[in-house]
Structure 1
Amino acid sequence: MADFRTVEGLGTESEGLLSDARFGFYSSAPWWRAARGPDVDAPGYLTAVADGEVCGLAPLSFPQHEDNTGYTPHLLFPYRPQAQYALIGPRRGYRAHLPVRHRVAADVVGGFFETAADAAASRGTDWVYALHLTTDSADALADSGVARPILSPLMDTWVRAHGTSMDDYYASCRGGRAIRRERRRAAAVDVEVAHERLADCVDEVALLTRQSLERHGSTRSLASLTEELRLASEHAAEQEVLTTVRRAGRLLGYSLDYVWGDVLWGRSCAMVDELRTNESPLAFELTFYMPLELCYERGLRGIHLGPTNLAAKVRRGAELVPLWQASLYRGEDVFPVEGIRPWTAHVLDTVRTQCAPHTVDDRLAEIEERALAYGRGTRGALPPLPDSGIR
């Protein structure tokens, strides 16, 4: 049995667990430090200790304000009130893999939820949430019996670096010839492409990001984005790869990625309207092709691209990877079992529409089977999901 406690910082033992690159960049010490914003009451990290060693970790926070809709629980769950809550897992990244030793995974993840519920109750807070869980973490939670994971409305994506060169990547995509044409048009645009340090251009990157988010209806403030990027530049500088596009010194676009283990983790990309809407597809250069070239140069397996713009990503070879979410109300899972099937159908119908005209039915059928098994409590009878390249 593990002993659970909450610690303020990450010690040497914790750093050792988080250094396992298989957990992913968004479950690394640099990212966890970068993702703790100033408007979060963060008592620390849930820590599980068994046989004298740290066998599990998870950030625990009580967000005071959230202007990112992708991290707003009452918008991600059906029929939930807008209320104060405790959050298990990182607050940014759209991917929460809870780092645990496999032999104690169910006990530890279940214990995290129970410990977080106790901490929430001591603060007069009823709700505990975990958002954007990986399948490994959702499996462990389902096995614990503490809560039933349900499908997240956001679907993760990943692109493999097939073979040993970009030619192999083109050959692996149904639209390989069209991609080559895209790249030729992009190469003709009169811009300067370079790698820069985020710390040297935080304000420029934040302003461009804000303009991009405004086009999608986001209300995130410039101050919030600037602080988020500043923290990233401070805590994750060793892992960052910032590719910029400029003309006469003016920042026209950027792509911010992180190298962790043998995967390139795509964090964000933005571009001014004049280049985003013209016939020169520089956005695809920044999002897909330049990062893929980096993968081949460094021997990386591929790019984690996150949950937006699914059709464009699937067309360029991206694979869908499910994310999950779970909650407790006063220590109990109150999501109705009979609601899991209609909720799953709703999410998958939305994803199917977002991927159109590309067909992803086989992948969605595998995801649906797992979601319904979580609801029935029969997860143990399922085969593993086909290898997605990321855990």
Structure 2
Amino acid sequence: MTGLAEFHDHLGGMSPDAWEPLAADRLYSCADWLRFCATDIGGRTATGTVRTGDGAVAVTAVVEENNSFYQWHTQLTARGLPSPDPVGLMVGQRRGYRTSLLTRHGVDVDRAAPGLLDAVRELATRLPGSVLPSGTAGAGAAANRPTPCVAGFLSTEDALALRAAGGVDAVPVLLTTDAWVSVPEGGWEAWLRTLPSKGRRDSVKQEVKAFAAAGYEITRVPLADSFTAAAGLLAATQKRYGHPYDIDVLTESFRRQATAMGPKAEVLFCARPGEEPVGFSLFYVHGDTLYVRAVGFDYERLLRGAAEYFNLVYYASVRIAADAGLRWIHPGIESPDAKALRGARLRPLWLLDLSEDSVLAGHGERVRAYNAARTEELAALSPAVSKALERDLFAPFC
């Protein structure tokens, strides 16, 4: 899937040294991560970039994507909404669940958005016959509709900027929540004081004690030395929840991630002395943030009441982040209740159809009603979630 300059390589022909100032502290936009996206196993896609004088954004030409979170057709139809055809241009990279409009130093996103919007739309018109194999453009091509151009996992700021750029008639659709945990100065004790209540602080202390009493130890190793064990634990999690998996695919994906990301890719393993690990957490330290990327556990071997998941994924991450002087932990999407109870703020991530003839045009009230209803469903999960939702970021599209 090559043929256009934007897909000459994963940076569209730009050097990593030139790209990194644009990506700045955004892990899922950095050159190494885009290299992983370009080489990861599964699907038929091409990773590239679109650039203007003011900024840049990663793009993905999609014929087939095996991750349902990145299948805009799946996401929209599941919400009872009209959808563009499933083959086309995705604005953003295909792994990480964070799409960012990147700007040159001193340029704000509102200034960069119009040029980037024009550039990605123009690229979409050149995809058929150049990047997308003939006969894969979907029903839209038969109806003489332009190739779909869809952005996913946008922040509210970037979604507002693209809509303000002009000619985007669709209203963004709420995909999920994105969790961010603030790490204050003062380490573990200071972080404990940020939790929502004394009861929650006491619960965390009990979970830490139970973990220690069970005899668990946490070790930190490079992903390059541990991708096979990590894949096995992720497979065990997939099995527990009834999700399909292929252990060979999981192993190869982790291997490729380790190759692309190098020593930045690190794994925490949880085990008792002399035993095989019962859990892992793959993470990255990038900029001022610790990003939790993947987690897996052998649930058949966990001790009841030892809080292995929370100790490994959250509490160990807090200690690492505090020791490194980081400001944030990014545990990512899904499970808003568990994250809110451990101090996370919850921000929205949006899907926005950028196609000039969007099938979502004219459905603005319907989309806003869905967004508002889903926001209230989230708030109703628990008082902690309700308090953690950054409502001002949900409000523009509700």
Give the TM-score taking structure 1 as reference length: 0.84
Structure 2 CA distance for partners of 1:110 and 1:333, relative to 1, 3 Å: same
1:127 alignment counterpart:
148
2:50 alignment counterpart:
47
1:106 alignment counterpart:
113
Q: Paired residue for 1:136, among 113, 132, 157?
A: 157
Q: Give matches, 1:334-345, under 5 Å.
A: 334-335=359-360, 336-345=363-372
Verify: 1:195 aligned to 2:220, yes or no. yes
CA distance in 2, matches of 1:296, 1:302: 9
Verify: 1:323 aligned to 2:349, yes or no. yes
1:165 alignment counterpart:
187
Structure 2 CA distance for partners of 1:63 and 1:39, relative to 1, 3 Å: farther
Displacement of 1:71 in angstroms is: 1.8
Structure 2 CA distance for partners of 1:332 and 1:14, relative to 1, 3 Å: farther
Which has the higher mean CA deviation after the structures are superposed, 339-348 or 113-122? 113-122
CA distance in 2, matches of 1:277, 1:150: 43
Aligned length: 363
CA distance in 2, matches of 1:171, 1:258: 25
User: Any idea what SS the aligned residue of 2:86 has?
Assistant: coil
1:367 alignment counterpart:
393
Deviation string for 1:301-329 (max 9, x for gaps)? 02001112111110110001111111255
Amino acid at match of 1:342: A
CA distance in 2, matches of 1:321, 1:362: 9
Displacement of 1:141 in angstroms is: 1.1
CA distance in 2, matches of 1:328, 1:223: 36
Structure 2 CA distance for partners of 1:5 and 1:136, relative to 1, 3 Å: farther
Displacement of 1:24 in angstroms is: 1.4
Structure 2 CA distance for partners of 1:144 and 1:217, relative to 1, 3 Å: farther
1:34 alignment counterpart:
36
Deviation string for 1:217-264 (max 9, x for gaps)? 422432332222111100112222211123434121111110110111
1:375 alignment counterpart:
none
CA RMSD, 1 decimal: 2.5
Verify: 1:293 aligned to 2:319, yes or no. yes
Amino acid at match of 1:131: G
User: Any idea what SS the aligned residue of 2:352 has?
Assistant: strand
CA distance in 2, matches of 1:73, 1:44: 17
Displacement of 1:121 in angstroms is: 4.4
Structure 2 CA distance for partners of 1:113 and 1:220, relative to 1, 3 Å: farther
2:277 alignment counterpart:
251
Displacement of 1:60 in angstroms is: 2.1
Q: Point out where structure 2 has 5 or more consecutive residues left out of the alignment.
A: 139-146
Structure 2 CA distance for partners of 1:181 and 1:191, relative to 1, 3 Å: closer
Matched-pair identity in %: 23
Q: Is the 8 A contact 1:31 1:236 kept in 2?
A: yes
1:70 alignment counterpart:
69
Q: Is the 8 A contact 1:18 1:29 kept in 2?
A: yes
Amino acid at match of 2:28: Y
Displacement of 1:338 in angstroms is: 2.4
CA distance in 2, matches of 1:215, 1:249: 21
Displacement of 1:109 in angstroms is: 2.9
1:381 alignment counterpart:
none
2:357 alignment counterpart:
332
Q: Is the 8 A contact 2:180 2:346 kept in 1?
A: yes
Q: Is the 8 A contact 1:264 1:300 kept in 2?
A: yes
Displacement of 1:268 in angstroms is: 1.2
User: Any idea what SS the aligned residue of 2:267 has?
Assistant: strand
Structure 2 CA distance for partners of 1:143 and 1:235, relative to 1, 3 Å: same
Amino acid at match of 1:160: S
CA distance in 2, matches of 1:47, 1:308: 29
CA distance in 1, matches of 2:193, 2:27: 29
Displacement of 1:291 in angstroms is: 0.7
Structure 2 CA distance for partners of 1:23 and 1:300, relative to 1, 3 Å: closer
Structure 2 CA distance for partners of 1:285 and 1:116, relative to 1, 3 Å: farther
Q: Point out where structure 1 has 5 or more consecutive residues left out of the alignment.
A: 373-391
Displacement of 1:165 in angstroms is: 1.2
2:27 alignment counterpart:
25
Structure 2 CA distance for partners of 1:140 and 1:221, relative to 1, 3 Å: farther
CA distance in 2, matches of 1:276, 1:96: 35
Amino acid at match of 1:266: V
Q: Give matches, 1:201-212, under 5 Å.
A: 201-212=226-237
Displacement of 1:180 in angstroms is: 1.1
1:154 alignment counterpart:
176
Verify: 1:222 aligned to 2:229, yes or no. no
Q: Is the 8 A contact 2:174 2:350 kept in 1?
A: yes
